[in-house]
Amino acid sequence: MHFRKLIFRRIIEVLAIFFLILSGLFLLFHLSPGDPVSRMVQPGMSAEDASMLISQLGLDQPLWLQYLYYVKNFFTGNFGISFHYGQPVIHIIGRRLPNTILLFTTSVVLSAAAGVLWGKIVAWYKGRAIDTWVTILALVCHTLFLPWIALLFIWIFAYHVGWFPLNGMITPELWIDPTTGFLAKAADIGHHMLLPLLTLFIIHVGSYLLIMRSSMLETLKEDYILTARAKGLSEKRVRNRHAAPNAYLPVVTSIGLSLAFSINGGALTETVFSWPGIGRELIFAVSNNDYPLALACFLFISLVVLVANVIVDVLYAYLDPRIRY
Amino acid sequence: MRFFPKLFVSSLIVVAAAMVLLCSAASAHAAASTLRVGIAEEPRTLNVWMATDANSNKILSLIYPPLYTEHPETLELTPWLAKAMPVWDKETNTYTMELRQAKWSDGSPLTAEDVVFTVNTIKSFKVPKYHSEWQFVEKAEAVDKQTVRFYLEEPRATFLTRSLINYVMPKKQWAPIVNQAKKQEKPLGALLNARVEKPLGCGPFVLERWQEGNFIYLTKNPHFFGRGQTIQGHQLGPHVDAVLFKVYGTADVAILSLKKGDIDFLWWSIQPGYLEDLEQNKNIRVMINEKSALYYMGFNVRKKPFSDPALRQAAAMVIDRDFIVKRVLQGYGARMDSIVPSENRFWCAPDMPEYGRGLNRAQRIKKARKILAEAGYSWQRPPVDENGRVVSPSTIVRPDGNQMEKFTILTPPADYDPNRATCGIIIQEWLKELGIPASARPMSFGALLETVKTRHDFDAFILGYGRLALDPDYLRSFFHSDNAKPGGWNMSGYHNPEFDKLAEASIAEMDTEKRRKLLYQMQEIIMEDVPYIPLYNPAAIEAVDTRTFKGWVPMVEGIGNIWSFCSVKPE
């Protein structure tokens, strides 16, 4: 009962936050300088033609009316039409968002799993050489500059060694061939995904490892660990059953937070690897003042982050019964 | 190994095995005569009425044909879809033009009705991209199946050079969309946002597939009218079966792709920094052509201090354009002596004022000081001392006795265009040598345009046009006083009745030689008054793989042109 109530309360909170984001974004966009039409007009286009373009895009309405339309449109699933692509924003997002989710969910899951596993182990061997070296390595990974390491990997593994494709999500030559089957296409996407995944993994695994390590060290000081040992349980059992589950909690929190960060780092990753995701679209949209598209990108990204946070909270409540009461 | 649980190790092995497997699966290659082209960004749209960005027009120019196009060497207007040059009738103000026998990509004939439909659509929707080129055209009429007559409201010199180089659209495909759009609340919006999955074209290629975010695949148009024909000495193909456009996010990766052989042509302006690496590669040929571009510094002549032409001339004197080309562009570009790029040989006026060409810094400063002193400016400590040595001056005092206030030179930010941002800083230092208190300030591009074009709240700016039309009618847009209102293209607020008169005469002059004289005079006035100081015209640097295709046609703006795509052959 308490559990359900908690979930309900979190959802209400998240909805309120989302509405604040919705309104805040609208204001920010309309207060920022520059107008979208200035990018589309060319020398020779008369001022009348330009103002015609503005009114056709609905930009001549008063601000409060634009806001009401915006809220109404959002709740009816109408995100407007991108100024630049001339297509409904929802189509563009619909095509790009799955690509982003595919890449980033996989990378978060993999790096969190590896981070937890390795963090647990190095904490167990605290003070030995393995602990020192892995901790140093994790710190190095954590502080690497993403675009630099991405370009370096492309240069080494894709260009010189040739194990991976240079960029993109698919091999055009393969996809235009009508005889290519579904499996080959899936394999092609997987092949393109490996290098960005490796980059993201290296960037993220360090922080999970360090969090898990310090949390594990805290847990190992607890009395119940001593009790478990006193009972004569094997070291492995003490580590995996008694210590680790209690050490997971901070990692779960950090997954929720890192989803937000992985999306902003995602824009860089997607640009360097030409990965057709929503982060890259966001950069184009912002630099071209494509309000509807940029707004929708921001909204969807915040939605993903909020939903992830709810899931993390629920997971947390499940892992730690104290939260529930 | 005891630190790694078995499960994790085994999953790593599975991933490694999968990787090797996948590598072999992805090694398929397209047919040899697919031309693979790397482009910077995804085209925004393939809707002709909407497409204003360069990447969309790269694709569209291969699908839709224009009536006339420019000859690659002479840049003269050359009939493309039209059979010959149009016939001008002075009495009735009409042009009559005959079409070639041509077919759309579905095999249906292209007729005068298609041309009339295109003109009517532009006129009835006032399509912003084209409307200014067609608003002085009263109507277009199909005389017979192959003949079109255009009725002009007044003689208009740019009708040939600007209006007739537009694309012709298929009535068959677009008439239903146009009729549907007319019923909407916002007809123009509906037209601009309309989408056709398979554009019916008449160019050398047709769209086969657009995998958004990844690639665009064009195949040979079986009904292309030009196949095997010779136009102005160029035998047309196309000799390739398909063109595959690949989208790259960054220049670094695109260049690696070219070196690795993943693309045959990088249709992208390469920054000079990459050239040394590319030129060492014997499989890659770098192609350098001039652009038809204008990068310039503009002044706000509506208000002090730059309302004074003497100050603008002194600024032009200390701005060393050769230095900018040599250092900022690393030699890949041309200095500009007029608003019209020198590569536009027909229209660029000769013998423009040179503003210190060949002089060193000290000589420039002395000349500029003389101009300023004659116009009544003074210094407590002038930039040149009594022994004729150049010294650091005190802040300049205007002829009205007040010290000149600090002002800013607005430039785009360095991540948008490093060259313009760098020019701003260099020019700031040069002006300080005269005691002119300038400071360069980078500003985001959208905000910069709004400040300069709409709010007119600025002193000086550095902007540019990456692709200027070859017909220099833009001189009229930039400097005619009618365009000085907010949102107009006369951003400087330049006002000169003599110039206005010449500009109006130039647009109505149908005799090309006479018009050229008028445009020369206009350029002379502008370079004398310098509301804009033209700075440079960068080179178009592109690169191709020499192993795969040959027969590229160089032209102003580079080798990515319709002539190249109709001529390249597999090596």
Q: Mutate which of A159, A160, A191, A291 to test chain B, going by most B C-beta atoms within 10 A?
A: A191
Predicted model pTM: 0.82
How many other CB atoms sit within 10 Å of the CB of residue A53? 23
Q: With contacts defined as CB-CB under 8 Å, which chain B residues touch A52?
A: 126, 128, 188
Say yes or no to pLDDT of B28 above 60.
Answer: no
Query: Would you call B427 exposed, middle or buried from its count of C-beta atoms within 10 A (0-12, 13-18, 19+)?
Result: buried
Interatomic CA distance for residues B100 and B79, integer angstroms: 9
Average pLDDT for B115-141? 91
B471: closest CA of chain A, how far (Å): 12
From the list B531, B508, B511, the residue with the least C-alpha distance to B155 is: B508
**B22 interaction partners in chain A (CB closer than 8 Å):** 187-188, 190-191, 194
pLDDT greater than 70 at residue A141: yes
- For residue B262, the 8-state DSSP code is S
Chain A residue with the nearest C-alpha to that of B257:
A166
Task: Name the token pair of B175.
Answer: 């008439």
d(CA A75, CA B347): 56
What pLDDT score was predicted for residue B24? Answer: 45
Cα dihedral A118, A121, A124, A126 in deg (nearest 10) = -50
Radius of gyration of chain A (CA): 24
B39 close to B247: Cβ distance less than 8 angstroms: yes
**Partners of residue A125 in chain B, C-beta under 8 Å:** 3
For residue B27, name the pLDDT band (cuts at 50, 70, 90): very low
Cβ atoms B379, B435 nearer than 8 A: yes
Of B50, B464, B483, whose CA–CA distance to A40 is shortest? B50
B25·A191 Cβ contact <8 A: yes
pLDDT tens digits for B142-192?
A: 999 999 999 999 888 889 888 998 899 999 999 999 999 999 888 888 888
Is there a contact between B189 and A121 if contact means CB atoms under 8 Å apart? no
Which residues have CB under 8 Å from B542's CB, separation 6+?
A: B265, B266, B267, B268, B269, B270, B286, B287, B289, B558, B559, B560
Instruction: Decide: B68 and B160 in contact? Cβ < 8 Å.
Output: yes
Residue B261 has pLDDT above 70, yes or no: yes
Tokens of B499: 């110039």
For A171-187, the pLDDT digits (tens) are 888 888 888 888 888 99
B247–A274 CB contact, under 8 Å: yes
Q: State CA A289 to chain mean position distance.
A: 23
In terms of residues, how long is chain A? 325
User: Is residue A121 classed exposed, middle or buried when 0-12, 13-18 and 19+ CB atoms within 10 A define those classes?
Assistant: buried
Q: Which value, to the nearest 10 degrees, does the dihedral of the CA atoms of residues B302, B303, B304, B307 take?
A: 10
Res. A57: pLDDT tops 70:
no
Give per-residue pLDDT as tens, B410-456: 999 887 888 999 999 999 999 999 999 999 999 888 788 888 988 89
The pLDDT confidence band at residue A11, using thresholds 50, 70 and 90, is: confident
Burial label for B358, CB within 10 Å (0-12, 13-18, 19+), is: exposed
DSSP assignment string, A206-269? HHHHHHHHHHHHHHHTSHHHHHHHHTT--HHHIIIIIIHHHHHHHHHHHHHHHHHHHHHHHHHH
In this structure, how many other beta carbons lie within 10 angstroms of the beta carbon of residue A212?
Answer: 27
The string of pLDDT tens digits covering residues A199-231 is 999 988 998 999 999 998 888 888 888 888 888
Tracing tokens 């059953």 back to the chain, one arrives at: A241
Judge whether residue B538 has pLDDT over 50.
yes
Measured distance CA(A87)–CA(B190) in Å, rounded: 10
- Closest chain A CA to residue B186: A56
Q: Residue written as tokens 């109507």? A: B139
A99: chain B residues, CB-CB within 8 Å:
213
CA pair distance B106, A244, nearest whole angstrom: 68
Q: Tell whether omega for the bond before A276 is within 30 degrees of 0, i.e. cis.
A: no
C-alpha distances in angstroms, A280 versus A146, A259, B268, B370?
Answer: 15, 17, 19, 53
For residue B120, the one-letter residue type is N
Whether the predicted pLDDT of A325 surpasses 70: no
Residue A44 token pair: 């020779």
Q: Which amino acid is at B404?
A: M
Query: Cβ neighbours of residue B408 under 8 Å, at least 6 residues apart?
Result: B438, B439, B440, B441, B458, B459, B460
Separation of CA A288 from chain center: 23
Q: Which of A84, A133, A289 to mutate to test the interface with B (most CBs of B within 10 A)?
A: A84
Closest of B219, B265, B264, B226 to residue B241, by C-alpha: B219
In sequence order, what are the beta bridge partners of B329?
none
For A171, the closest chain B residue by CA position comes to: B26
Partnered with residue B244 across adjacent β-strands are: B36, B217
Residue of B214, B244, B455, B482 to mutate, interface with A, max A Cβ within 10 Å: B214
Of B214, B446, B474, the CB nearest to A39: B446
Q: Taking each helix axis from N to C terminus, what angle separates B512-529 and B309-318, rounded to the nearest 10 degrees?
A: 90
Q: Can you tell me whether residue B276 is helix, strand or coil?
A: helix
Each residue of B357-409: pLDDT tens digit? 889 999 999 999 999 999 999 999 999 888 888 889 999 999 988 999 999 99
Interface test with A, best of B1, B7, B11, B22 (most A CBs within 10 A): B22
Most confident range, picked from A121-135, B329-343, B524-538: B524-538
Q: How far apart are CA B135 and CA B153, in angstroms?
A: 9
Q: CB-CB: which of B128, B211, B249 is closest to A271?
A: B249
Burial class (CB in 10 A: 0-12, 13-18, 19+), B488: buried
Give the residue among A243, A294, A177, A274 at the shortest CA–CA distance from B257. A274
Question: Cβ distance B427 to B438 under 8 Å?
Answer: yes
Q: In which band, very low, low, confident or very high, does the pLDDT at B26 lie, cut at 50, 70 and 90?
A: very low
Q: Which of B530, B529, B315, B538 is nearest to B409 (CA)?
A: B315
Neighbours of A239 (CB within 10 A): 21
Reported as a single tens digit per residue, the pLDDT across A244-281 is 888 888 888 888 777 766 666 678 888 888 888 888 88
* Residue B550: count of CB within 10 angstroms of its CB: 13
Closest approach of A12 to chain B, Cα-based (Å): 36
Cβ pair A47:B488 closer than 8 A: yes
Task: Give the helix ranges, DSSP H, for B472-511.
Answer: 474-479, 497-508
Of A57, A167, A170, the CB nearest to B248: A167
